């Protein structure tokens, strides 16, 4: 029985992780979970999965759950709660499906506690990839990708040495506005941005897909997960999201991973690796029904966010921390209808321009920069 700690159980990846646990209850057991504010869903999840420890974002929600569950469940809150959920003694693996760089410190704590890490939370790797990968090496803990593209690369690599890789090719759907020009992007709405053509996901990542920052974050995530220089990470537009990504090897062989767009596949693979478990649910891929798959090279003028992300990644140090924090705050402002779509990119660009890079930032420096950039963006949008 594999025992699972889950950060972000009420989210898109969190609920799908619980689907996987439910379908294979003879193999997996939930021992702890964290949520933000969705108390109603959390109550149902606690009744069904009976975790030992639950963490919520604020004290008020904590008191409500304490009243409801008494001493059947330990209920905590805030960062301390996230860390306790992530490091609970009984867990073998942490599924990190929380949103944003708030996932960083619980991830580091779980690595130190020698938990395997199944990581969906890309912001953690973007903001402090050097700290996370270093800690994982020191504590001999595997970082198992959940993000669909990185799971595809992980499966295509199948343990091959990174010296055998010519390039990693991340596929990108292009998001909700893939067929619009930059001129047309001036007038798009939040409602339209939230309609991803292929995937049903949380609001923040759906906006990231529309701006293409999602792919930018994924380039940095791939750099850290697979230890590959940015010059060997490419992005290819593929509007169907059927090929989840590919690896070209030095002998010019290319291996791709395909499947219908269903996050339960990579979530489950991260939990069963190196084995596979049969799924009785989900759609099989029927290529004959699709007929054709389409590909287009990436235009960095059109997708300005990609250029910013590559640049921040290549500069390295604290630059990706700034990129991520500015993006999290700018997207949050767009979701609250405080700014228009193209202002997301403008705010990030300004934050990057004015940042003095720290080469190898410590955890304290990352926490300080993250907060400073959030405050900066906040002051500009309010
Ligand atoms: N959705 C997808 O298909 C994919 C997502 N990812 C990545 O996975 C991560 C999660 O994405 P997704 O599931 O879409 O996001 P959602 O917004 O659907 O869910 C986020 C989860 O995190 C919780 N949460 C949010 N903010 C905080 C906070 N400050 N403190 C504590 N908990 C918090 C939410 O709680 P609550 O709702 O209770 O407030 C919720 O449980 C992201 O990093 C994303 O990039 C990667 C690949 C695919
Ligand atoms: C499901 C998943 O992994 C998302 O990151 C998805 O890939 C978003 O798609 P695009 O960013 O390609 O639109
Ligand atoms: Mn992805």
Last residue of some domain: 82, 110, 141?
A: 141
Residue 111: exposed, middle, or buried by beta-carbon count in 10 A (0-12, 13-18, 19+)? buried
Cβ proximity of 334 and 106 under 8 Å: no
Atom of ligand 2 minimally distant from the CA of 238: 12
Atom 1, ligand 2: which residue's CA is nearest?
A: 148
CB 13 within 8 A of CB 97: yes
Digits of tens for pLDDT over the chain (382 positions)?
999 999 999 999 999 999 999 999 999 999 999 999 999 999 999 999 999 999 999 999 999 999 999 999 999 999 999 999 999 999 999 999 999 999 999 999 999 999 999 999 999 999 999 999 999 999 999 999 999 999 999 999 988 888 899 999 999 999 999 999 999 999 999 999 999 999 999 999 999 999 999 999 999 999 999 999 999 999 999 999 999 999 999 999 999 999 999 999 999 999 999 999 999 999 999 999 999 999 999 999 999 999 999 999 999 999 999 999 999 999 999 999 999 999 999 999 999 999 999 999 999 999 999 999 999 999 999 8
122 and 6 share one domain: yes
Q: Provide the phi-psi class of 196: left if phi over 0, else alpha when psi is between -120 and 50, else beta.
A: beta
Residue 25 in domain: yes
Taking the CA of 6 as reference, the closest ligand is 1
Q: Which ligand is nearest to the CA of 177?
A: 2
- Same structural domain for residues 167 and 240? yes
331 assigned to some structural domain: yes
Q: Could you tell me if 281 and 176 lie in one domain?
A: yes
Residues 166 and 134 occupy one common structural domain = no
pLDDT of residue 272: 98
Residue 154 in any domain: the answer is no
Q: Does a structural domain hold residue 239? A: yes
Question: Quick check: is 233 in a domain?
Answer: yes
103 annotated as belonging to a binding site for a ligand: no
Q: Are residues 135 and 47 in the same domain?
A: yes
pLDDT at 162: 80
Q: Is 121 annotated as a binding residue?
A: yes
Q: In b/e form, how buried is each residue of 40-69, taking b as 16+ CB within 10 angstroms? A: eebbebbeebebbbbbbbeeebbebbbeeb
In a domain, 198, yes or no: yes
Looking up tokens 């720290």, which residue turns up?
358
Where does a domain end: 141, 173, 194?
141
Judgement on whether residues 137 and 178 belong to the same structural domain of the protein: no
Spell out which residues line ligand 1, taking CB within 6 angstroms: 8-14, 34-38, 57, 97-100, 102, 120-123, 147, 199, 201-202, 204-205, 263
Is 10 assigned a ligand-binding role in the annotation? yes
pLDDT at 155: 97
- Based on the domain organization, do 214 and 120 belong to the same domain? no
Cα–ligand 2 centroid distance for 281 (angstroms): 21
State the pLDDT at residue 170. 98
Residue with the nearest Cα to atom 47 of ligand 1? 147
Same domain, 94 and 187: no
Residues 28 and 71 in one domain: yes
Residue numbers of the domain that contains 15:
2-141
Strand 243-249 to 254-258 pairing: antiparallel
Query: Which of 85, 106, 141 delimits the end of a domain?
Result: 141
Q: Is the CB of 211 under 6 A from ligand 2?
A: no
Q: Which two tokens stand for residue 20?
A: 């996987």
Q: Are residues 164 and 217 in the same domain?
A: yes
Contact criterion met (CB below 8 Å) for 248 and 256: no
Both 131 and 182 in one domain: the answer is no
Task: Look at residue 310 and tell me if it is in a domain.
Answer: no
Looking at the fold, whether 128 and 222 belong to one and the same domain comes out as no
Number of domains the chain contains: 3
How many beta carbons lie within 10 A of that of residue 295, not counting itself? 12
Q: Residue 75: enclosing H or E segment and its boundaries?
A: strand 74-77
Predicted pLDDT of residue 159 = 84
User: 97 lies in a domain?
Assistant: yes
């Amino acid at each position: 029985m594999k025992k699972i700690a889950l950060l972000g159980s009420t989210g898109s990846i969190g609920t799908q992780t619980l689907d996987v646990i439910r379908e294979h209850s003879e193999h997996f057991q939930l021992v702890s979970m964290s949520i933000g504010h969705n108390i109603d869903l959390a109550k149902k999840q606690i009744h069904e999965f009976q975790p030992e420890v639950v963490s919520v974002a604020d004290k008020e929600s904590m008191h409500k759950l304490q009243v409801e569950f008494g001493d059947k469940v330990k209920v905590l809150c805030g960062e301390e709660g996230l860390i306790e959920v992530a490091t609970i003694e009984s867990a073998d693996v942490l599924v990190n499906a929380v949103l944003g760089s708030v996932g960083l410190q619980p991830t580091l704590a779980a690595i130190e506690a020698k938990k395997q890490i199944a990581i969906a939370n890309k912001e953690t790797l973007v903001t402090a990839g050097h700290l996370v990968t270093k800690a994982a090496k020191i504590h001999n803990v595997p970082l198992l990708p959940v993000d669909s593209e990185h799971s595809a690369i992980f499966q295509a690599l199948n343990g091959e040495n990174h010296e055998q890789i010519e390039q990693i090719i991340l596929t990108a759907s292009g998001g909700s506005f893939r067929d619009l020009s930059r001129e047309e992007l001036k007038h798009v709405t939040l409602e339209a941005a939230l309609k991803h053509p292929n995937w049903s996901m949380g609001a923040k990542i759906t906006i990231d897909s529309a701006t293409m920052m999602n792919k930018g974050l994924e380039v940095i995530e791939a750099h850290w997960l697979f230890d590959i220089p940015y010059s060997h990470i490419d992005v290819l537009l593929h509007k169907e999201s059927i090929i989840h990504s590919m690896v070209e090897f030095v002998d010019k062989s290319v291996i791709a991973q395909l499947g219908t767009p269903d996050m339960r596949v990579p979530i489950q693979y991260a939990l069963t690796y190196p084995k596979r478990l049969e799924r009785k649910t989900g759609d099989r891929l029927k290529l004959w029904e699709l007929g054709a798959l389409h590909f287009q090279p990436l235009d960095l003028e059109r997708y300005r966010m990609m250029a910013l992300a590559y640049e921040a990644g290549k500069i390295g140090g604290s630059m990706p921390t700034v990129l991520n924090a500015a993006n999290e705050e700018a997207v949050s402002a767009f979701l609250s209808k405080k700014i228009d779509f193209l202002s997301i990119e403008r705010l990030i660009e300004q934050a990057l321009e004015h940042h003095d890079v720290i080469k190898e930032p410590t955890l304290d420096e990352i926490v300080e920069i993250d907060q400073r950039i959030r405050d900066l963006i906040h002051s500009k949008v309010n």
